[in-house]
Each structure stands twice: as C-alpha cells, then as structure tokens.
Amino acid sequence: MKKILVAFSGSYFPDGALEFAFQLNKTQPILLTGVFIPQATYSYLWSAAATLGGPVLPPLYEEVTSEVVEENITKFKSLCELNNIKYKVHRDVYDFVLPELTKESRFADLLILSSEKFYESLSKEETIDRLKDILQATECPVLVVPENFKFPEKNILAYDGSASSVYAIKQFAYLFPELTNNESLLIFSKNEEEAELPYETFIEELGNQHYKNLKLLKLKINPKKYFTTWLNQEKNVILVSGSFGRSSVSQLFRKSFVTEVISEHKLPVFIAHR
C-alpha cells in the first residue's frame, strides 16, 4: 500500500489531483493523506523566504478561510469514504510550512499537486523557480496533474541517457507497477540526424524488465521547440521525466521543457529526483 500526499491550499479544492488518487486506489489500495494549509498559496509555500525561515504572511479573511478549510476537510473525507479509500487528515501545518511539508514528503511515496493552482498566480519565470523549489525540497517523487485529464493508458518515458532520466523511469515502475502493463514509449529526442540513443542496450534491458509493452522511439526534433507539440498529439498519456536538480541538469529537461509541458494543463507529469 502506497502513502500519497495531496496538498490543499486555502479555499482551493484539487479535484483533478484527488481523482487521480482515486483511480490509483482502484488498481492498488493506497493511503491518501490530505495536508490542509489554510493561509498560504503554493507559490508562497515553496518560496525562498519560507525555506530560510522568513516571516509567515498573515492570512486575509482568516475566519472565512478557516471555515472553507473545514468545508474542504469534510468534502475530502466524504469523497474518500465514497471511493472506499483509506485516508488521513493533517491540518496542523500553520507555521514553518515548508519544513513541515518537507517532513511529510519524507514519509510518503508520492506528492500530487494541481498544475492549474500551481501556475495560477505566477509568471513563467516564477513558475520555473517554484518548480525547482518543490523538486529540491520534497523527498519523494512529484506528480503534477491538471484538473481535466484522462487516466493514463500510455506511458511516455522521456530519456536522454542521464542518471536523472533513468532514475525517474525506475521510480515510476516501482511506484506504479499496475501502470507498467500499459503501452510504453521510451523517447529520445535530439535535433541531429545521426544522433544515437545513449546506452541503448542498457536502457532496453532495464526497460523490458519493468515495462511489459515497451517501444523505443528516436525523435529527430529539437526537444525545446517541438517536443510539447508532438506530445500533445498523444492521447491518454502520462509523461515520466527526470528533474532539473542542483548539480546535474538534463539537456532534455531544461526549465523551458518541463514548464511548457505542465503549463499546457493537458496531461499528468511524473517527476522523480534523487
């Protein structure tokens, strides 16, 4: 049984994130933990000020917010019971939000975030920084889910030969063995006619052990410019990617790539980091 976190911020109720969790529970039972944060937005939660222990901004309309949070907790419980899912509620995260959620993620298998809410009040530059903050602060993989999506029937495993991309491919298989029966495309994309798939024998050996229906595909396109366009033509998919970490940055997953895919709000994105 996996432990999955879903973060609630203020009055926002992440229907898409919860629906993904409920669908997962149908394939394999999970423990779903709702973390309710009354007075902060996602963007502030993961800000550098919070990381450094800066002052917590006071909530506006605190009483109203508290009432809405209680309503959301009641709705969360009801939906979990309706879907026969085991759940926990954590609502004591009032101060020192980032350290508390970092601790939560240490003892979880996955954190699910809503892409719409995460991007709602941020510029593209701020989005890049906040996404990096989340990946660096959490201690479990992150799944970013749009509000409207189709549960994945196909896995897109983005690969460029880096340790980060291989790690993500393995973590996805470990966490979601029930999804490895889906058709899986391992994609290598580079705008060079003679580009070879890095360590092809090794990644094929590894992938075939975990993914029942795996195909390797080389795309001769510039991933920064055209990968999102290609990806949007695929139906009912989930993208599996490595993260852009502090020290090693994968060429395929530089800021613009991950940000562009998530900001389209069309498909779930699984991001794992070491």
Give the tens place of pLDDT for each residue, 219-270.
876 666 677 788 888 889 999 998 754 433 344 445 456 667 777 778 999 9
104 φ, ψ (degrees, to nearest 5): -55, -45
Residue 91 has pLDDT above 60, yes or no: yes
Mean pLDDT of 82-98: 76
Cβ-based burial of 56 (10 A; exposed 0-12, middle 13-18, buried ≥19):
middle
Query: Model pTM?
Result: 0.84
Q: Do domains 2-145 and 154-272 have the same CATH topology?
A: yes
Q: What is the pLDDT of residue 101?
A: 74
Of 10 and 19, more confident: 19
Domain ranges of the chain: 2-145, 154-272
Mean pLDDT of 147-157: 94
Residue 34 has pLDDT above 90, yes or no: yes
Q: What is the pLDDT of residue 266?
A: 82
Mean pLDDT of 140-165: 92
Mean pLDDT of 87-114: 79
Q: What percent of the chain has pLDDT over 70?
A: 72
For domain 154-272, the CATH class is alpha beta
Q: What is the pLDDT of residue 64?
A: 46
Binned at pLDDT 50, 70 and 90, residue 93 comes out as low
Closest CA to 16 of 143, 110, 136: 143
Residue 61 has pLDDT above 50, yes or no: no
Q: 2-145 architecture in CATH?
A: 3-Layer(aba) Sandwich (3.40)
Residue 82 has pLDDT above 90, yes or no: yes
Closest CA to 108 of 151, 146, 141, 70: 141
